[in-house]
A and B are shown apart, each in its own frame.
Chain A
Amino acid sequence: DAKTTQPTSMDCAEGRAANLPCNHSTISGNEYVYWYRQIHSQGPQYIIHGLKNNETNEMASLIITEDRKSSTLILPHATLRDTAVYYCIVRGPNFGNEKLTFGTGTRLTIIP
């Protein structure tokens, strides 16, 4: 699975959009980008995933660059409850290799 690089920490003002970057320059053609978050020692929670097209769901948007070497998770209107560690994970489709490799992630702090 491709390695990812994320900033260690970020701050964002409440109500503003939080943009979390992730570099995955060694991503291969069949690998997806997944985002999970972990709120204060709770179990991680799935947010969104994508292959090459931009994706949006009720939680967030995922913007993947055309060369797929980087992506950005966007929380459009951050709230205090979005304070968490955000993990960007790159891996292949579901062919029996189910392991998710969590790096150290980005600690996002929403400022009131």
Chain B
Amino acid sequence: DADVTQTPRNRITKTGKRIMLECSQTKGHDRMYWYRQDPGLGLRLIYYSFDVKDINKGEISDGYSVSRQAQAKFSLSLESAIPNQTALYFCATSDPRGTSGVYNEQFFGPGTRLTVL
């Protein structure tokens, strides 16, 4: 079973709709992240969370909100989707204690492909 899962994997929605992307992890990591990737570009950080009481904005948080419901769950919401939010969205986790043996090793989910019409 995958350690980091994302649902849905693909979603097509219309402008103005509210949509939620969900991320779950079984790695027991405290830290979770949401990135978006546009075609031909690298990943850009939207939000990150160091634990269930901690939420931080990334470089492109406008138009997005997040909820950290539990250590294992981190959801990304688009309150009113717009076409330029069409992108590939990735969730990731990391362990600050470095029990993987690697500082800053982030473990990524399979991605959610979102299309806003």
Contacts and interface: CB of A to CB of B under 8 A. Distances in A.
Identify which of B43, B58, B104, B106 gathers the most chain A CB atoms within 10 Å of its CB.
B104
Interface string A87-103: 10001011010111111
Contacts of B96: 94, 96, 98
Contact of A42 (B33, B40, B105, B111): B111
Given A32-B104, A43-B90, A104 B42 contact: yes
A68 B20 CA distance: 43
Interface string B25-59: 00000010101000011111100101000000011
Given A43-B90, A104-B42, A98 B110 contact: no
Interface of A: 32, 34, 41-46, 49, 87, 91, 93-94, 96, 98-105
